[in-house]
Amino acid sequence: MSKDLLIVSILILSIASCNTWVAHGQSTFDLLKFGAKGDGQTDDSQAILNALEALCRASDENPTLVVPNGHTFFLRPLKFSGPCQSKNIHIKIMGNLLAPNRSNWGGCAIIWFHLFNITGLTFDGTGVINGSGQGWWSRVIGTGDCSRIPTALYFEKCDGLQISGLTHINGPGVHLSVVDSQDVTISNIHINSPEESHNTDGIDLTRVIRANIHDSDIQSGDDCIAIKGGTQFLNVSQVTCGPGTHGISVGSLGKNGSEEFVDHLTVKNCTFNGADSAVKIKTWAGGKGYVSNIVFDHIQINQTNFPIYIDQHYMRSKEQPQAVKISNVTFSNINGTCVGKDAIVLDCAKIGCYDITLQQINVTSINPKHPARVRCNNVHGTTTDIISPRGHCI
Ligand SMILES: *[C@@H]1O[C@H](CO)[C@@H](O)[C@H](O)[C@H]1NC(C)=O
Ligand SMILES: *[C@@H]1O[C@H](CO)[C@@H](O)[C@H](O)[C@H]1NC(C)=O
Ligand SMILES: *[C@@H]1O[C@H](CO)[C@@H](O)[C@H](O)[C@H]1NC(C)=O
Ligand SMILES: *[C@@H]1O[C@H](CO)[C@@H](O)[C@H](O)[C@H]1NC(C)=O
Ligand SMILES: *[C@@H]1O[C@H](CO)[C@@H](O)[C@H](O)[C@H]1NC(C)=O
Ligand SMILES: *[C@@H]1O[C@H](CO)[C@@H](O)[C@H](O)[C@H]1NC(C)=O
Ligand SMILES: *[C@@H]1O[C@H](CO)[C@@H](O)[C@H](O)[C@H]1NC(C)=O
Ligand SMILES: *[C@@H]1O[C@H](CO)[C@@H](O)[C@H](O)[C@H]1NC(C)=O
Ligand SMILES: *[C@@H]1O[C@H](CO)[C@@H](O)[C@H](O)[C@H]1NC(C)=O
Ligand SMILES: *[C@@H]1O[C@H](CO)[C@@H](O)[C@H](O)[C@H]1NC(C)=O
C-alpha cells in the first residue's frame, strides 16, 4: 500500500468510526453524520454515497444505515456498487428521499437511485421515496439527446434483496425495478402516482429468479407489475392494482425478433380496481422463446377495461411465421366487472397457444349496451364453469 493510500485509508476509517455506533456487534450509521443536510434542497448525494461506502465496508453481521425521520434528502442521480463486506446490509429509510425535477435533472442519467451488486440487502422503513416525476409525464419524450425516461429505484445484481414498508410516489418512469437478481421479496409497499403519469410502471422485474411480491398496493399510470424476460418462479399475492393502473403483465416479450421467456408465475388473491387491464400476457409478433406454467387465480376485478388478455400482436404488430410460444396458462376464480365488452380476449398468433385453462369465471359488464363477450384466435385448451361472459372460443 502506498503511503498516500494508507493515509487516505486511515482517514476514511477514522471518519467511519466516529460516525458509527456499535451495539451487539451491529454497527449503525446515521446519514446526518455524513454531512447530509436533509433540508429538501441541499444536494445530499455525496453524503449518502459516503454513508453507503461506510456501510458497505462494515464487517459485522448486520450493519444498518438509517435515513432519519423528519428530514427530506435531495439526491441527484447516483449509483453505488458492491460487493460489500457483510452478508447482510440494511438500509432503513425513515425519512424522505427526493429526486430533482426534470428541468433540474442535470445530464441524461436513466436511473435516479441505482444499487448494484449488493447481496443480502434489506431496503425498508416507513419513509417516502419521491421521484418528482411530474415533468416526465407529458407524452413529449426527451429533449435533445436525453430521450429515455428514468427509472426511480433500480436494484441490479442484488441476490437476497428484501424491500418493504416504503411509499413510492411520483416516479418519472418505473418506480421500482429489479434486474438480474435471485431470491427477492417485495412486501407491504405502497406505490402512488396519478393515472395520467404515463410510463410509470409500479414494479418491473427482469431476469429475476425466485421472488415474492405480496401485500402491496400499486397505483400508477402504466403496468402495475411488469414481468419481463428471464423471470422465473415468481409468486404475487394480495396485491391491489389501481385505480387507473394497467395490469399485472407478462411482457412485453419478443420485441424485434428477440428471444425471451417467462415461466412459473403464480398470481393469487389480487384485486384490480378501475384498472385498464388486469391479468395480461403481451408478446410481439415475430419474437422467439416461450411463456409457460402461469397461474392467475382468485382475482377480483372492479370496472376494468380488459380483465383477461393474451395479446400476441402487441402494439398491433403484424402476424409473422414465428412467435413467442405460450402454453400452460390457467385463469381461474376470476370475478367482477368490466367497463367494456372485452371481458376475455385471447388473441394468439397462428402458431397457437396451448393448454390454456379458463375456470370459474364470472365477469360481467357494467354497461348494459355492451354485454361482456369473449374473443379468441388460435387458442387450445379447456374451459369449465364460465358463468359470464357467454360464448365459446376454445
Ligand atoms: C460483484 O460482486 C462479486 C462478489 O460478490 C464480485 O466477485 C464481482 O466481481 C462483482 N461484480 C462486479 C461487476 O463488480
Ligand atoms: C419541482 O417542481 C415542483 C412543481 O412542479 C415544485 O413545487 C418544486 O419546488 C420543484 N422542486 C425543485 C427542487 O425544483
Ligand atoms: C414530492 O416532490 C414534489 C417536488 O418534486 C413536491 O411538489 C411534492 O409535494 C412532494 N410530495 C410529497 C408527498 O412530499
Ligand atoms: C411460490 O409458491 C409456491 C406454492 O405455495 C411455493 O412452493 C414456492 O416455493 C413459492 N416460490 C417462492 C419463490 O417463494
Ligand atoms: C389467498 O386468500 C385465502 C383466503 O383469504 C388464503 O387462505 C390464502 O392463504 C391466500 N393465498 C395466498 C397465496 O395469498
Ligand atoms: C431490430 O433487429 C435488427 C436485426 O437484429 C437490427 O438491425 C435493428 O437495429 C433492430 N431494431 C431495433 C429498433 O432494435
Ligand atoms: C369499483 O370502482 C368504482 C369506479 O372506480 C368505484 O367507485 C368503486 O368504489 C369500486 N368498488 C370497490 C368495491 O372498490
Ligand atoms: C402447468 O403449470 C403448473 C403451474 O406451474 C404446473 O403445476 C403444472 O405441472 C404444469 N403442467 C404441465 C403439463 O407442465
Ligand atoms: C367468485 O364467485 C364465486 C361464486 O359467487 C365465489 O365462490 C368465489 O369465491 C368468488 N371468487 C373470487 C375471487 O371472488
Ligand atoms: C356473477 O356475477 C354477477 C354480477 O356480479 C352476479 O349478479 C351473479 O350472482 C354472479 N353469479 C354467480 C353464479 O356467482
What average pLDDT does this structure show over 379-386?
94
Res 33 pLDDT > 60: yes
Residue 24's pLDDT band (cuts 50, 70, 90): low
Say what the pLDDT of residue 20 is: 63
Closest residue to atom 7 of ligand 3, CA basis: 132
In the chain, residues under CATH classification 2.160.20.10 are 20-201, 223-394
Which of 271, 272, 302, 338 is the best mutation target for the ligand 7 pocket, counting ligand atoms within 8 Å of the beta carbon and taking the most? 302
Q: Is residue 38 within 8 Å of 73, Cβ to Cβ?
A: yes
Ligand nearest, relative to CA of residue 89: 1
Q: Which residues contact 219 (CB under 8 A, 6 or more apart)?
A: 191, 192, 193, 194, 195, 202, 241, 242, 243, 244, 245
Residue 21's pLDDT band (cuts 50, 70, 90): low
Tell me the percentage of the chain whose pLDDT exceeds 90.
Answer: 84
Q: Taking the CA of residue 80 as centre, how many other CA atoms within 13 Å lie in the half-sphere pointing to its CB?
A: 24
Residue 12's pLDDT band (cuts 50, 70, 90): very low
Catalytic residue among 222, 223, 297, 342: 222
Res 394 pLDDT > 80: no
What average pLDDT does this structure show over 249-272?
98
Q: Is the CB of 6 under 6 A from ligand 10?
A: no
Where is pLDDT greater, at 15 or 208?
208
Spatial distance between the Cα atoms of 333 and 349, rounded to a whole number of angstroms: 26
CATH topology of domain 223-394: Pectate Lyase C-like (2.160.20)
Q: Taking the CA of residue 347 as centre, how many other CA atoms within 13 Å lie in the half-sphere pointing to its CB?
A: 19
Res 3 pLDDT > 50: no
What average pLDDT does this structure show over 207-232?
97
Q: How far is the CA of 128 from the centre of ligand 8 (A)?
A: 39
Where is pLDDT greater, at 205 or 390?
205
Res 198 pLDDT > 90: no
Cell 425513515, residue? 94
Q: β-strand 89-93 against 306-311: which pairing, if any?
A: unpaired
The closest-lying atom of ligand 5 relative to the alpha carbon of residue 238 is 14
Q: Label residue 382 exposed, middle or buried (CB < 10 Å: 0-12, 13-18, 19+).
A: exposed
Q: β-strand 20-23 against 26-30: which pairing, if any?
A: antiparallel
Spatial distance between the Cα atoms of 57 and 82, rounded to a whole number of angstroms: 10
Q: Is the CB of 366 under 6 A from ligand 10?
A: no
Say what the pLDDT of residue 2 is: 45
Spatial distance between the Cα atoms of 368 and 38, rounded to a whole number of angstroms: 54
CATH superfamily of 20-201: Single-stranded right-handed beta-helix, Pectin lyase-like (2.160.20.10)
Cell, residue 377: 384466435
